[in-house]
Amino acid sequence: QQQVKQSPQSLIVQKGGISIINCAYENTAFDYFPWYQQFPGKGPALLIAIRPDVSEKKEGRFTISFNKSAKQFSLHIMDSQPGDSATYFCAPLTSADRGSTLGRLYFGRGTQLTVWP
């Protein structure tokens, strides 16, 4: 069962442009919505995350937009830089206080972002 659908699979953006990556989920029990960033040869690292009680969260050039009714959330990277070139994963989870499975992440398929200088 594919609980998380991420798009696009790859994205090429000019330096200074906006990168947008989308994630749709099925499980309404998800209550925490992180984005992970992975560089080649490294493990995924948390980039930014949002709780469902807000519709948007911004940290520097990175913004998450959350649409609970549509069961979608997206990552926006403003003023994209070559150093942002990486693979991005959405990986929602159900937190433990919802009787979950102790923080298991449900990864999307990943988006390979390339930012051209």
Partner 1 sequence: EPEVTQTPSHQVTQMGQEVILRCVPISNHLYFYWYRQILGQKVEFLVSFYNNEISEKSEIFDDQFSVERPDGSNFTLKIRSTKLEDSAMYFCASSETPPRGINTEAFFGQGTRLTVV
Q: Give contact residues for partner 1 (rule: CB under 8 A).
A: 31-32, 34, 36, 41-46, 49, 51, 89, 91, 93, 95-98, 101-110
Distance CA 34, CA 5 (A): 14
* Cβ nearer to partner 1, comparing 17 with 27: 27
Residue 91: CB minimum distance to partner 1, A: 8
Residue 61: CB minimum distance to partner 1, A: 20
Residue 79: CB minimum distance to partner 1, A: 25
Residue 101 dihedral angles phi and psi, to the nearest 5°: -100, 50
* Cβ nearer to partner 1, comparing 26 with 79: 26
* Cβ nearer to partner 1, comparing 73 with 108: 108
